[in-house]
A and B are shown apart, each in its own frame.
Chain A
Amino acid sequence: MKLRATSEDRVTQIVLIGLALAFLAFFLLLPLVAVFSEALAQGVGPFMDAVHTPDALAAIRLTLIIAAISVPLNVVFGIAASWAITKFQFPGKSLLITLIDLPFSVSPVVSGLIFVLLFGANGLIGPWLAAHDLKIIFAVPGIVLATVFITFPFVARELIPLMMEQGKDDEEAALSLGASGWQTFWHVTLPNIRWGLLYGVLLCNARAMGEFGAVSVVSGHIRGETNTMPLHVEILYNEYDFVGAFAVASLLALLALVTLVAKSVLEWRFDLHSGASH
């Protein structure tokens, strides 16, 4: 047997690897398998029927709409915040960095409540909204707001370290060559961050579609109107419609799997790319 500085007892190795695998199997693989097997427990027919109910279709549509609005918003906010933080010096910068993480550190339910307290009927500007016939809480705008808030950190947190590492030299070079700010962003900054950005978008999208807590508080659970997929799953489950619940849940799980694969592909491309350029 070869001796190495890091060599462990073979038994220790096997035990550690076995523990990790068992943990993964129990907490990740098993639930995933359960979701799909429950969804397909009564065959493909009932599965398709469950997904094709008007309420399920409405939930899927709403979820896609929410993601389609909140992801682009957070791309813009995320790039703007990362740009400001990494390319400029200003007072309150570290406060801004801390604030970006706030949605991660606050319970999603609290995040949802914040918006109810702001825009709800008894909220800060609720009466004004009611007077102008604007509905935010228990309506789509509220769900969008909550989702944007929850998913804000994904893009920014992906970009800040990346842009910090890249520094300002490329941008300064572009400016010194006569490029405008917009040209510099479009031709220099964006290509430099594109893989990191895509990665952030992917994570942001997965969370936007999957968010439960905050959305649950602001949505009002109106079937066919303000129910997103996660909320719909809960309702079906509470009504003992297990096939229906797991069918919709399996769609969400599928999204997670697609995201994981895309993420791995991106990581691979990303490494390859940065490896070739340094």
Chain B
Amino acid sequence: MISVRNITKRFGSYAALHGIDLDIEPGEFIALLGPSGSGKTTLLRIIAGLEFQDSGQVLFDGNDVSGLKVADRHVGFVFQQYALFRHMTVAENVAFGLQVKKRRDRPARAAIRDRAEELLRLVQLEGLGGRYPGQLSGGQRQRVALARALAIEPELLLLDEPFGALDAKVRKDLRRWLRDLHKQMGLTSIFVTHDQEEALELADRVVVMDHGKIEQVGTPEEIYMNPATPFVSHFVGETNRMAGQSGEVHFRPHDVDVVGEGGEAVLVDNVFRKGGVWRVEGALVETSLFVEIDLDAALPQPRPGETIRIVPRRSRLFNPEGGQA
């Protein structure tokens, strides 16, 4: 089990993390989700040993590793920009972690070569061992980086925005592939992302962070359906706000019924087809707050300028202090 105990970190006068506590079960796939500056990458780097906390502890299976350097923590780290060694072939990159072992721990040359080949097969890059990183596509490079990290048989795999530098199509394929790989290997893994879709799709549990604090930890289902704070409600999925009697009412675009009378009046501004639904953009007549609503595309398409009346089917009330009412 990986435990993070009351971690704080400052960069000069800027508090990157204040008081982070987190427990990660063996075999879990965890997403650290947050906007830039939320401290998610700093937390990942502290767990890796690439950065050191000002106070607090990092425990691997109950052992305090807070003082250990990255080389002694047996973690695999995958960088957003791959960080492949450009002057080495793909196979040499993958074998690097084995080559630099002390002589008495180092496997024989043939064993290293076999291991590199095996890993390249695992990441579906068989036969590309002789190429240089510069000759590979972004997705292939990231898989080489992953194979290289796995070569040292880490107890924990850490990925910093692993799909951040890839284009949308490759990103989606690689995401699915990584999820399957995780299922197959069961290696405890933590990845950092600012993309909520990515976090919800891949992770067993999502850690939502903002301003150096954890806002909520939960399964993707819990995070989406029961956001603990207004921030989580906004950051994960789309959310509309409405004034309620004792705070702010949040509701998802798809949790809305159109009614003949009563409810809230919405002045329609723009309508377009979004897959199987009409996406209606408009403003609440009463407060002129912007809202987005999804309506069944079987219904007639609302016209801009029309007024429709809506009732949230499902909503959450947050009191002015930011907590949940």
Contacts and interface: CB of A to CB of B under 8 A. Distances in A.
B132 A175 contact: no
Contacts of B273: none
A278 interface: yes
B85 A169 contact: no
A133 to B, nearest CB: 48
Contact of B148 (A172, A177, A180): A177
B167 to A, nearest CB: 16
A174 interface: yes
A277 interface: yes
A176 interface: yes
B19 interface: no
Contacts of B77: 172-173, 176
Contacts of A278: 134
B85 A172 contact: no
A277 B89 CA distance: 12
B291 interface: no
B79 A173 contact: yes
A277 B135 CA distance: 8
A180 B105 CA distance: 14
Chain A interface SS verdict (over half): helix
Contacts of A170: 83, 85
Contacts of B81: 169
A176 B48 contact: yes
A174 B96 contact: yes
Contacts, number: 69
A45 interface: no
Contacts of B96: 174, 177, 179, 187
Contact of A173 (B83, B101, B134): B83
B100 interface: yes
Interface string B144-155: 010011011000
Interface in B59-87: 69-71, 75-77, 79, 81, 83-87
B69 A175 contact: yes
Given A175-B71, A277-B134, A180 B100 contact: yes
A259 interface: no
B218 interface: no
A154 to B, nearest CB: 24
Most buried by B among A176, A180, A278: A176
B133 interface: yes
B259 interface: no
Nearest to B100: A179
A175 B50 CA distance: 9
Nearest to A276: B134
B97 interface: yes
B140 to A, nearest CB: 15
A178 interface: yes
A179 B71 contact: yes
Nearest to B97: A177
Interface in A150-187: 169-170, 172-180, 183, 187
Contacts of A179: 71, 96-97, 100
A176 B134 CA distance: 22
A176 B86 contact: no
Contacts of B134: 276-278
Contacts of A169: 79, 81, 83
B309 to A, nearest CB: 54
B153 to A, nearest CB: 11
Contact of B70 (A176, A183, A188): A176
Contact of B86 (A172, A175, A177, A192): A192
B71 A277 contact: no
A25 to B, nearest CB: 41
Contacts of B69: 175
A92 interface: no
A265 to B, nearest CB: 19
Nearest to B99: A187
Given A174-B100, A278-B134, 12 more contacts: A174-B85, A176-B75, A176-B149, A177-B96, A177-B100, A177-B148, A178-B71, A179-B100, A180-B100, A183-B100, A277-B132, A277-B134
15 contacts: A172-B70, A174-B85, A175-B70, A176-B75, A176-B76, A176-B149, A177-B71, A177-B96, A177-B97, A178-B100, A178-B101, A178-B152, A179-B100, A180-B100, A187-B100
Interface of A: 169-170, 172-180, 183, 187-188, 191-192, 276-278
